[in-house]
Structure 1
Amino acid sequence: MISKFKIGLFLCLCSGYLLQAQTTKITEIAIEGTVKTKPSFITKILQTQVGQVLDSTVLHQDVLRLKRLPAISYAYFSVKELSNKQCVIVITIKENYTLLPDVNFWTTTNNVFSYKLGLYEYNLLGRNITLGGFYQYNGFHTYAVNFKAPNLFSRKWGIALNHQNWKSEEPLYFNSGSANYLYNNISFEALALYQINLNHEINFGLNLFTEKYQYLSGVTSPQIPQQLNLQKALFKLVYGYTNLDYYYQYVSGFKSVLYAQYVLTENDYQNDFYIFWNDFFYYSRIGEKGNWANRLRFGLSSNEDTPFAPFALDNNVNLRGVGILVDRGTGSMVLNTEYRHTVYDKKWLAIQTNVFTDFGSWRNPGGTLGDFFKEENIRIYSGVGLRFISKKIYNATFRIDYGFRIVGQSNTSKGGFVFGIGQYF
């Protein structure tokens, strides 16, 4: 048997080692590998600071925080022990290229050649500031300017400012059919950004906007005029929980984002209304080259029987292959699931194939929750796709998917291609 003396000696040695580790102080934090990012900014947003006691758990959290920044593709740390219970923390990062064009080409339902040209800097001044904008032509002229500085005031507080003048041809649905309107949204938005901790953040603010509708073609209704000009104010709250880990194109973990908005409006065709939706994301690594990705969205709004219902069924939002703005509702329930497999992986480029299934349903304007389970409201599309991923440029993933109808009404799209920049979710 092991004597009590030996057990006591062992416990004393362990206690001494732990006590020494707990009293090792950080005398310097060195940042290596930066090209554009300011080392002073990196040290500003770290929870680990000079003079603190070494804590490897906090260091791991700091590295995870850095890997989530647009400017950084990968990061790791090492500890150099000095004499007198002191140490130096060395954080090494690999940067992304962050000045990116935003270019898209497509054809509208009226066969208008459309394009979007933009430019965004995601690491302005080397301080994780996003500044950019775009111009879009889809038969009409649209532009937007965006500014976001999550750490402008401190490690926790930042601000976002956005202005947009959006124009598009959109359908409004009546009992007797649908009509196409020119939709124009002119908005000014200001948001406060607060990072509670590594996993939790909250954004809140105000959006002042004008909505204009001008009749173009289709059926008419005596209840809805052919021209509208609506002044509105929107109070916005976004709460996000993030527990994701990144390794280049691979993602693992869970994320949840809640969007809540309350819209004030004074007109004869729409009352004040609320809208909220929650996106749940789950990612899992499968083997060395596989990644299983899932997104579940559930949302509701004020349930008025109006053609201006806020939730839309659309190729680029929820169901790949369904078409562009094919229907609207006051509730939305969507599940997207896909398996991504890397077939080519070199220093700067990775190529993934994917197979996916998108399930969606909605609540009709003025309807009930039972609408989600009505056969005529259910759509299921499945398909395959390709991803071309630059490992050195932030969010530089060109995707192409083809989705075909599995479940849905015969008058809906049988399928189609969907193109975009960035992963679908």
Structure 2
Amino acid sequence: MRPLIALAVFIFSFQMSAQQPKVADLKVQGIKKLKSSFVQKVSKIRSGEVLDSIMIEQDIRRLKRLPSIAHATYQVFPAENEGEYNVIYSIDENFTIIPSLNVYTTNEDEFAYRLGLYEFNLFGQNIAFGGFYQKDIYSSYGINFRAPYLFSRNFGLAVNHQNLTTQEPVFFNNASSDYKYNNTSYEILGLYEFNFKNKIELGINYFTEDYQYKFGATSPDVPQALKVNKVLYKLIYEFNTLDYDYQYVAGFRSIFQFQNVTTTDNTLPAFLIGWNDFLYYKRLGEKGNWASRLRLGVASNDETPFAPFSVDNNLNIRGVGNIIDRGTAAIVLNTEYRHTFIDKTWFVLQGNAFVDAGSWRNPGGDFGDFGDNKNLRVYPGVGLRFMHKRIFNAIFRIDYGYGITENASRGFVFGIGQYF
């Protein structure tokens, strides 16, 4: 009887598999610059495979994350052969040759800006290439190339070069001085996407740091001129469940970064540094969006005036100023409510109310420093967002942050794109 039972099970399984709907063809419509072959390369749906609605939904969410795509939907129609279906992905493309601008001021009459131009869909393959010029007392520039799907649906490459020169404060013995700081770097990263939610970046960065004393306090223990070659080994792991609907975002994203920095001079000692950004977005009603970012970071706790974590307008606390302090560990929370006031076919006006708060561990200190009033910054504020729905990252933002903690400043922060 057992052979007969086995045969019956085999026949039943064969019939069931034969009845499963199949994909006859995947078609892409609505594209102009974007290549149909690229959409098919990054999609999991394939001709001849089983029609899977969950897989299609994942494809659509993946496509909406791409810089070249403003929105995407799908349709399924019966094909000529019975049990087969055509899948159609309908795409609204973004304009992807984008200028970038970041400007910030404080109540100390500080003014700096960064101008850039990037193409985010080079050759219709979602390759990002471009550069920037920065004026922050001194001139700087950077060139960036990023192709996440260069070799396959899972494997890509990024190459970056930067020559950054700024005036940096250095803190020591309850005093500070200002240095002309230059960082010239060359970086290469391998990019690998395990699946829809998980991806990793791994690479190396060779850079030179050059500090030249300008003015302020001095100390025999702090050199007035220093030039050091360093090598940085970098690991980035990302978990991403975000779902986009034009200006609205929902879901959770976690980005973990770990770096091992080696050096040729013990004045700037080798160190380990790691941090994790936890981002959470929730739709509130038809026009509201709550967004939050929590950063937890820690580095080797060397007692050095050149600590790696900085307090800065464009990085973490809006209105605080340009690198007003440094630390070897950080806790930063940014949370804001975004509300859409105007939503037209191409234009969106969005307002936001935010609170940025953070604290730092002093170089050589302990975690009790987080509770020190001198390290705590809390900056509530409000802002506006002017958005174009058909141009990638075409979000011009204006934020005004007002500090409510000890020795606080206030100021405007301008930029392209959401703050986080």
TM norm. shorter chain > 0.5: yes
In the alignment, the residues of structure 2 paired with residue 110 and residue 170 of structure 1 have an alpha-carbon distance, to the nearest angstrom, of: 15
SS in 2 for 1:165: strand
Quick one: which of 41, 54, 75 aligns to 1:78? 75
Amino acid aligned to 2:320 = V
Map of 1:200-215 to 2, 5 A cutoff? 200-215=198-213
In the alignment, the residues of structure 2 paired with residue 267 and residue 294 of structure 1 have an alpha-carbon distance, to the nearest angstrom, of: 39
Post-superposition offset of 1:378 = 1.2
In the alignment, the residues of structure 2 paired with residue 377 and residue 106 of structure 1 have an alpha-carbon distance, to the nearest angstrom, of: 22
- Equivalent pair of 1:182/1:216 in contact (CA under 8 Å): yes
In the alignment, the residues of structure 2 paired with residue 72 and residue 21 of structure 1 have an alpha-carbon distance, to the nearest angstrom, of: 36
Post-superposition offset of 1:220 = 0.8
Quick one: which of 403, 408, 411 aligns to 1:412? 408
Amino acid aligned to 1:420 = G
- Equivalent pair of 1:171/1:180 in contact (CA under 8 Å): yes
Is 1:69 aligned to 2:50, yes or no?
no
Task: Give the match for residue 250 of structure 1.
Answer: 248
Amino acid aligned to 1:81 = P
Listed one character per residue, the Cα deviations across residues 364-386 of structure 1 (whole Å, up to 9, x for unaligned) are: 10011111122222111101111
- Equivalent pair of 1:117/1:136 in contact (CA under 8 Å): yes
- Equivalent pair of 1:208/1:232 in contact (CA under 8 Å): yes
In the alignment, the residues of structure 1 paired with residue 393 and residue 417 of structure 2 have an alpha-carbon distance, to the nearest angstrom, of: 6
- Equivalent pair of 1:176/1:219 in contact (CA under 8 Å): no
Map of 1:102-141 to 2, 5 A cutoff? 102-106=100-104, 114-141=112-139
Amino acid aligned to 2:290 = W
Post-superposition offset of 1:266 = 2.1
Moved more, 152-161 or 312-321: 312-321
Long gaps (5+) in structure 1: 1-14
Cα distance change on mapping 1:42 and 1:200 into 2, 3 Å = same
Map of 1:13-412 to 2, 5 A cutoff? 19=16, 23-82=20-79, 83-106=81-104, 114-406=112-404, 408-409=405-406, 411-412=407-408
Amino acid aligned to 1:418 = V
In the alignment, the residues of structure 2 paired with residue 22 and residue 235 of structure 1 have an alpha-carbon distance, to the nearest angstrom, of: 52
Listed one character per residue, the Cα deviations across residues 195-242 of structure 1 (whole Å, up to 9, x for unaligned) are: 010000000000000000000110111111111000000000000000
Cα distance change on mapping 1:384 and 1:113 into 2, 3 Å = closer
- Equivalent pair of 1:251/1:291 in contact (CA under 8 Å): yes
Amino acid aligned to 2:172 = F
Structure 1 length-normalised TM: 0.92
- Equivalent pair of 1:314/1:326 in contact (CA under 8 Å): yes
- Equivalent pair of 2:231/2:261 in contact (CA under 8 Å): yes
- Equivalent pair of 2:104/2:313 in contact (CA under 8 Å): no
Cα distance change on mapping 1:404 and 1:242 into 2, 3 Å = same
In the alignment, the residues of structure 2 paired with residue 167 and residue 400 of structure 1 have an alpha-carbon distance, to the nearest angstrom, of: 25
- Equivalent pair of 1:112/1:138 in contact (CA under 8 Å): no
Post-superposition offset of 1:21 = 9.2
Long gaps (5+) in structure 2: 1-11
In the alignment, the residues of structure 2 paired with residue 366 and residue 158 of structure 1 have an alpha-carbon distance, to the nearest angstrom, of: 39
- Equivalent pair of 2:310/2:326 in contact (CA under 8 Å): yes
Moved more, 324-333 or 138-147: 138-147
Post-superposition offset of 1:67 = 0.4
Listed one character per residue, the Cα deviations across residues 26-71 of structure 1 (whole Å, up to 9, x for unaligned) are: 1211100001000001001111111101011101001111000000
- Equivalent pair of 2:103/2:415 in contact (CA under 8 Å): no
- Equivalent pair of 1:205/1:236 in contact (CA under 8 Å): yes
Structure 2 length-normalised TM: 0.94
In the alignment, the residues of structure 1 paired with residue 137 and residue 337 of structure 2 have an alpha-carbon distance, to the nearest angstrom, of: 36
- Equivalent pair of 1:22/1:54 in contact (CA under 8 Å): no
Listed one character per residue, the Cα deviations across residues 226-268 of structure 1 (whole Å, up to 9, x for unaligned) are: 1100000000000000000000000000000001000000213
Cα distance change on mapping 1:115 and 1:402 into 2, 3 Å = closer
Post-superposition offset of 1:23 = 1.7
Amino acid aligned to 1:248 = Y
| Backbone CA RMSD of aligned residues | 1.8
SS in 2 for 1:50: coil
Cα distance change on mapping 1:199 and 1:263 into 2, 3 Å = same
Aligned residues: 407
SS in 2 for 1:282: strand
Between the two structures, name the one with larger relative contact order (CA 8 Å, sep ≥ 6): 2
In the alignment, the residues of structure 1 paired with residue 338 and residue 115 of structure 2 have an alpha-carbon distance, to the nearest angstrom, of: 29
SS in 1 for 2:374: helix
Task: Give identity over the alignment, percent.
Answer: 52
Amino acid aligned to 2:302 = E
In the alignment, the residues of structure 2 paired with residue 125 and residue 139 of structure 1 have an alpha-carbon distance, to the nearest angstrom, of: 36
In the alignment, the residues of structure 1 paired with residue 197 and residue 21 of structure 2 have an alpha-carbon distance, to the nearest angstrom, of: 27
Post-superposition offset of 1:108 = 8.3
Amino acid aligned to 1:51 = G
- Equivalent pair of 1:22/1:53 in contact (CA under 8 Å): no
Cα distance change on mapping 1:295 and 1:112 into 2, 3 Å = closer
Amino acid aligned to 2:182 = N
Post-superposition offset of 1:106 = 5.0
Post-superposition offset of 1:118 = 1.9
